[in-house]
Structure 1
Amino acid sequence: MDLQLKGKTAVVTGGSRGIGRSIAELFADEGANVAICARNAEQVAEAVESLKRRGGEAWGRAVDIADGAALKRFVGEAGERLGGIDVMVSNASALVNGAAEADWQAMFDIDMLGAVRTFDAAFPFLEKAAEANGDAAFVIVSSVSAAETNGGSAYGPMKAALIHYAKGLARQHAAKKVRANVVSPGTVLFDGGVWGNVRDQMPGYFERMLKRNPTGRMATPEEIAAAVVFLASPRSAFTTGSNLLVDGAISARVNF
């Protein structure tokens, strides 16, 4: 299927490794130009060179997502350098699963305000792209933890807030053809990621978590990326305000 992304521009936060890296690579494979940011400058530089080898234009910068001014500058510069923004993906996360006040603050600053600030900075470009081409997209990576909980952690409530935020944006900007959707992964396994570290450091707990999932395994970053890129593409032009679970049926709820 041609996702109609050739020549488009996608911006991905947290794009140097894991899910974000896979999202950026799949956009590049579909012929899009890509801009990424992450905290580690060396990882960003390596990812950008890898993206360029896939054939498109790529650019990146080291950015602390909690630094609102720096984040907005990155998005604006990405749009200027690459000639616009057709897709904005808010993927970066503090990944804090605790209940201390500092945990709540980190999740609010990086996950919630990170999404708000990326959208605000990208919106003029998205609006222009939608006016010219009939479609532009904002996609947030949330989590199945938005609706699954065993305690008063900061992680799930902030991920749930992102889904609410995206739905509001979808309704607000539908007439302008600027879409907003969410992809909510379940457990995702890759080296150096949360579940990769659990596998290496707590193998017994890791095996118990594998058994929770009816598929008997965890997702790959590439499987999450496929959902994000499809929702971001013009092929999904009538899909907005959705929350797409990609969790291998680990959640029991019915997603009405």
Structure 2
Amino acid sequence: MDLRIANKTALVTGGTKGIGRAIVDAFVAEGANVAFCARSADEVAATEAAFASAPVTVVGTVLDVRDTACLTAWVNDTAERFGGLDMIVSNVSALAIPDTAQNWVDSLEIDLMGTVNLVQASLPFLEKSSAGSIVALSSVSGREVDFASGPYGTVKTAIIGYIAGLALQLAGRGIRANTVSPGNTYHAGGVWESLEASDREFFDSAVALNPTGRLGTPQEIAASVVFLSSPVSSRTTGANLLIDGALTRGIQL
């Protein structure tokens, strides 16, 4: 299927590993130019180098999304370089699960305000696009109570509410806004790989909870994120797309 995003520009936060890196891969495979950011200079350089021979332009920037001024400058610089922005994906997360004071601060500053500030900086450019789209990564932990309830789950719930409100506010301006809520997703260097080694009993119990008998992959999440970002999904806005292998049981009304 042609997603009609060839030569359009996507912006992805947290684009060097896991789901974020898979999203960058998927946009590139569809012929979109991509600007991504992450905090590690080495990881940004390695990811950028991996796309050096790609037929599109992929540019990485070292950035902490808590720095609002730098985040805004990155958005502006990207729009100037590519002549605008079409699709933004707020993916970066503190993954701050234990209920500690610092984890509340990190979740609010990185997950929630990182999303809000990215959106606010991008809106003038998205409004000029014929395919303006916002996708924010939430989580199944934002939809129902589980082991990650606390700072992580609460802020992921807030992201769903924020993006749903944006969908209503921006529909008349031609900008769509949706969330994607992955279930437990396994990738090298990720939380679940770590738990597989450090707490095998808990890891096995998490796998057993899923009717598919396995955890998800970043590529499975990325495919839906890029489709949802594309003009092919032009009628979808205000949605929270669960990608969890039937892990959650609630019915969305």
Band of TM-score, shorter chain = over 0.9
- 2:136 is aligned with what amino acid? I
**Offset at residue 76 of structure 1 (A):** 1.4
Per-residue CA deviation, residues 208-228 of structure 1 (Å, 9 max, x unaligned), is 110000000011000000110
Partner of 2:199: 202
Alignment deviations for residues 20-47 of structure 1 (CA, whole Å, 9 cap, x no partner): 0000110001000000000001111111
- SS of 1:181's equivalent in the other structure is strand
> C-alpha separation between the residues in 2 aligned to 1:165 and 1:196?
31
Aligned-residue offset at 1:193: 0.4
Q: How many residues align?
A: 252
d(CA) in 2 for partners of 1:54, 1:244: 30
Equivalent-residue separation in structure 2 for 1:199 and 1:235 (angstroms) = 38
Identical positions, percent:
44
Where do 5+ consecutive residues of structure 2 fail to align?
none
Gaps of 5+ in 1: none
What corresponds to 1:241 in structure 2? 238
Which piece of structure 1 moves more, 153-162 or 142-151? 142-151
- One-letter amino acid of the structure 2 residue matched with residue 144 of structure 1: V
**Residue in 2 that maps onto 1:79:** 79
- Tell me whether 1:176 sits opposite 2:173 in the alignment: yes
Displacement of 1:3:
0.3
Q: Is 2:162 aligned against 1:161?
A: no
How far apart are the structure 2 equivalents of 1:192 and 1:87?
A: 27
* Deviation string, structure 1 residues 66-102 (Cα, Å, up to 9, x no partner): 1111111111111111221100100000100022221
Alignment RMSD: 1.1
Deviation at 1:150, TM superposition (A): 4.3
* Matched residue, 1:14: 14
Deviations along 1:217-254, one digit per CA (max 9) or x if unpaired, are 01100000011000000001110000000001111111
User: What TM-score, normalized by structure 1, do the two folds share?
Assistant: 0.96
Letter in 1 for 2:44: V
Q: Does structure 1 residue 228 correspond to structure 2 residue 231?
A: no
Pick from 240, 248, 251: which aligns with 1:251? 248
Distance 1:235 1:52, change over 3 A: farther
Distance in 2 between the 1:170 and 1:89 partners? 15
What is the CA–CA distance in structure 2 between the aligned matches of 1:58 and 1:118, rounded to whole Å? 19
Q: Distance in 1 between matches of 2:152 and 2:53?
A: 36
Residue 53 of structure 1 aligns to a residue whose secondary structure is coil
8 Å CA contact retained: 1:29, 1:54:
no
For residues 5 and 254 of structure 1, what CA distance do their matches in structure 2 show? 32
Alpha-carbon distance, 1:147 to partner: 2.1
Q: Give the secondary-structure state (helix, strand or coil) at the position aligned to 1:81.
A: helix
- Tell me how far 1:13 sits from its aligned partner: 0.1
**Correspondence 1:71-220 to 2 at 5 A:** 71-129=71-129, 133=130, 135-150=131-146, 153-220=150-217
Q: State the AA in 1 paired with 2:58.
A: A
Q: Which residue of 2 aligns with 1:47?
A: 47
* AA of the residue aligned to 2:207: L
CA 1:54–1:200: 2 relative to 1, 3 Å: farther
